[in-house]
Amino acid sequence: MAGLRLDGLSTMLLREVDLTLATGERIFLSGASGSGKSLLLRAVADLDPHRGEVWLDDLPRSRLTPPEWRRRVGLLPAESHWWAETVGEHWRAPVADSPIEALLVALGFDVDVSGWAITRLSTGERQRLALARLLLNQPQALLLDEATANLDSVNRERVETVLEDYRATHATAMLWVSHDPEQRARLGGRRLVIRENRLEPEA
Amino acid sequence: MNLIALSVWDLILAAGLVLLLAALSWRLCLGVGRRVLVATLRGTVQLMLVGLVLKQLFAQANPVLIGLIVLVMWSAAGWEVQSRQKRRYTGSWGYGIGTFSLFLSSFSVTLLALLVIIQVEPWYQPRYLIPLLGMLLGNTMSGVAIALDQLTRQAWDARGCIEARLLLGATWEEAIADLRREALRSGLIPIVNAMAAAGLVSLPGMMTGQILAGSPPLEAAKYQLLILFLISAGTGLGAMAAVWIGSRRLFDDRQRLRLDRLTTNRR
């Protein structure tokens, strides 16, 4: 049950962003390549030095330890990284009411995918598994960096469904970077664009 | 058995062999003749100078002079650690991490050896202090340099994985744990290998020197063992300190990976 509020956030490419996402609201973010979309998400997740504060409901980020904050405000990077040999080694201990199996099936995998070697996976498979890995933390807000960029239409639909279901059941605020105008229009909601170092509504 | 002192002519004869090598290199157009000569000259001057300085030092045992020499050895070793990094830390950290780790390991181990094991009176007697510290600094230096180099290189290459772990809620220590282990291991491997092969493949330099200088082989072996143990302990301690401080420095107080704190060494 969380809204997300960016309070005077400044990155190398963006000046003084004030932005409020209501509880359960999804906002699409677009902008030219190199305009600072990913940097903004990284700043919200507190991965780069920057100015400004972020609030999750009434809780300022500075009150939480960075690991706690990043578990609550989950960032899905555009490129997924894997450090161990098999998929299953990357699951943190599953939370009680988030059965990993259901999530994997919904994303189009067999349950035995946990035993697969990372090297066997395609880019798209990695992207979907990275989402599963992230949702296991049960984040209260989501930052998505081109979550469906490497996917075919079937899998894009799966990911969209999983994300929309998650948002509906957890009332998650979502900041979603998407290059796909058709996707932004189809799913609806508020749309913002980064232009000349400023965040403004998409015309 | 007594030490057979070398005369100037003995050395000239040996140097003649090197001259022969240089001449051969020139004749065969190997292009290293000049370098051989320069290296020969440098080595000669440096070692004779060190011999002279040590002779003075041993005669007087002046604490100030000893302190000065120790300082020179220490800072030279610290400099060497820094210059062997592909990516070193910016600012005073670049020099500081290696130098501090060397201090922590080499100095404490040397002190322990002088005070508790060999029990030299007074403890700073240069005949024992200088060679011991030199051995320790030289070897610890390699271990620390290798471990640090490994840590920063790997952190650079694996930044995606490190950040992926941070994003999933790992602490900085969890995110860097694998790299730390790897870095420590590579820092320790050379000395562990040296211990395992000691005596079989080659006689270690110090033992060789002692035997040539007339010590009974068993006594020489005992000293060599002492040195090997001290070096292992010192290298381990130094590499651990360097890897710990170095990995901590890669993250800031908000547990972000700060690769901007590294800079590429010019080579």
* B60 close contact with A: CB closer than 8 A: no
Residue B214's pLDDT is 87
Question: What pLDDT digit, counting tens, does each position of A110-167 carry?
Answer: 988 989 999 999 999 999 999 999 999 999 999 999 999 989 999 999 999 999 999 9
Residue B99's pLDDT is 96
* B164 close contact with A: CB closer than 8 A: yes
- Residue of B167, B172, B173 best to disrupt the A interface, most CBs of A under 10 A: B167
Co-location of B23 and B101 in the same domain:
no
In the block, tokens 């490994």 appear at B150
- Residue of A63, A80, A81, A133 best to disrupt the B interface, most CBs of B under 10 A: A81
User: Which of these three, B60, B88, B103, is where a domain ends?
Assistant: B60
Judged against a pLDDT cut of 80, whether residue B30 lies above it is answered with yes
Three-state DSSP class for residue A30: strand
CA A201 to each of CA A13, A37, A132, A191, B255: distance values in angstroms, whole numbers, following the listed order: 17, 14, 30, 6, 33
| Pairwise CB contact (< 8 Å): A83 & B171 | no
Average pLDDT, chain B: 91
| Pairwise CB contact (< 8 Å): A66 & B161 | no
Chain A to chain B, count of Cβ pairs less than 8 Å apart? Answer: 54
Judged against a pLDDT cut of 70, whether residue B266 lies above it is answered with no
Q: Decide: B150 and B182 in contact? Cβ < 8 Å.
A: yes
Considering only CA atoms, which of A195, A3, A83, A90 is closest in space to residue B162? Answer: A83
DSSP-H helix ranges across A45-152: 66-72, 100-106, 123-135
- Count of structural domains, chain B: 2
Co-location of B155 and B171 in the same domain:
yes
Domain borders along chain A are: 4-201
Residue B31: left if φ>0, alpha if ψ -120 to 50, beta else—which one? left
Residue A97's pLDDT is 59
Give the single-character DSSP code of A102.
H
Judged against a pLDDT cut of 60, whether residue A95 lies above it is answered with no
Q: What is the mean pLDDT of residues B209-238?
A: 91
**In sequence order, what DSSP letters do the residues of A74-96 get, joined into one string?**
EEE-SS----SSBSGGGPPPPPT
What percentage of chain A carries pLDDT values higher than 90? 88
Sign of the dihedral through C-alpha B150, B155, B157, B158: positive
Residue A2's pLDDT is 63
* B161 close contact with A: CB closer than 8 A: yes
Residue B171's pLDDT is 97
Residue B204's pLDDT is 80
User: Which of these three, B60, B80, B107, is where a domain ends?
Assistant: B60
**Strand (E) or helix (H) holding A11:** none
Co-location of B77 and B166 in the same domain:
yes
Judged against a pLDDT cut of 60, whether residue A1 lies above it is answered with no
> Among all residues of chain A, which has the CA nearest to that of B178?
A83
Residue B70's pLDDT is 94
Co-location of B43 and B69 in the same domain:
no
In the block, tokens 């490190």 appear at B162
Q: Decide: B110 and B85 in contact? Cβ < 8 Å.
A: no
Q: Decide: A5 and A153 in contact? Cβ < 8 Å.
A: no
| Pairwise CB contact (< 8 Å): B169 & A71 | yes
Co-location of B56 and B72 in the same domain:
no
Sign of the dihedral through C-alpha A102, A107, A108, A110: negative
CA A46 to each of CA A70, A141, A170: distance values in angstroms, whole numbers, following the listed order: 8, 14, 22
Phi, psi of B193 (to 5 degrees): -60, -40
**pLDDT band per the 50, 70, 90 thresholds, residue A98:** low
**pLDDT band per the 50, 70, 90 thresholds, residue B163:** very high
Q: Decide: A47 and B256 in contact? Cβ < 8 Å.
A: yes
Judged against a pLDDT cut of 80, whether residue B143 lies above it is answered with yes
Report chain A residues touching chain B, CB-CB < 8 A.
45-49, 65-68, 70-71, 74-75, 77, 79-83, 92, 133-134, 137
Co-location of B74 and B35 in the same domain:
no
Judged against a pLDDT cut of 70, whether residue B2 lies above it is answered with no
CA distance B195 to chain A (A): 33
Cβ count within 10 A of residue A73:
27
Judged against a pLDDT cut of 80, whether residue B1 lies above it is answered with no
Phi, psi of A81 (to 5 degrees): -125, 140
Name the packing angle between helices B126-157 and B172-197 (round to 10°): 130
Judged against a pLDDT cut of 80, whether residue B88 lies above it is answered with yes
Co-location of B132 and B3 in the same domain:
no
Residues B231 and A187: their CA atoms lie apart, in Å, by: 66
* CB-closest option in A48, A66, A79 to B160: A79
ipTM confidence = 0.95
* CB-closest option in A66, A67, A81 to B161: A81
What percentage of chain B carries pLDDT values higher than 70? 98
Query: Which residues, 6+ apart, have CB-to-CB distance to B120 below 8 Å?
Result: B114, B128, B129
Q: List CB contacts (< 8 A) between A70 and chain B.
A: 166-169
Q: Is B180 exposed, middle or buried (0-12, 13-18, 19+ CB in 10 A)?
A: buried
* B256 close contact with A: CB closer than 8 A: yes
Query: Which residues, 6+ apart, have CB-to-CB distance to A159 below 8 Å?
Result: A107, A128, A131, A147, A148, A151
Domain that holds residue B135: 63-264
* B254 close contact with A: CB closer than 8 A: yes
Instruction: Show which of residues 187-246 on chain B sit within 8 Å of chain A, judged by CB atoms.
Output: none
From the options 2.60.40.10, 3.40.50.300, 3.30.70.980, 3.40.640.10, give the CATH code of A4-201.
Answer: 3.40.50.300
Q: What is the mean pLDDT of residues B224-231?
A: 91
Residue B209's pLDDT is 87
Q: What is the mean pLDDT of residues B42-57?
A: 90
Judged against a pLDDT cut of 80, whether residue A203 lies above it is answered with no
* CB-closest option in B160, B167, B254 to A75: B167
* B177 close contact with A: CB closer than 8 A: no
| Pairwise CB contact (< 8 Å): B164 & A81 | yes
* CB-closest option in B160, B166, B258 to A70: B166
| Pairwise CB contact (< 8 Å): A81 & B169 | no
Residue B44's pLDDT is 92
**pLDDT band per the 50, 70, 90 thresholds, residue B31:** confident
Cis peptide before A49 (omega within 30 of 0): no
Give the single-character DSSP code of A141.
E
DSSP-H helix ranges across A12-99: 37-44, 66-72
Residue A190's pLDDT is 95
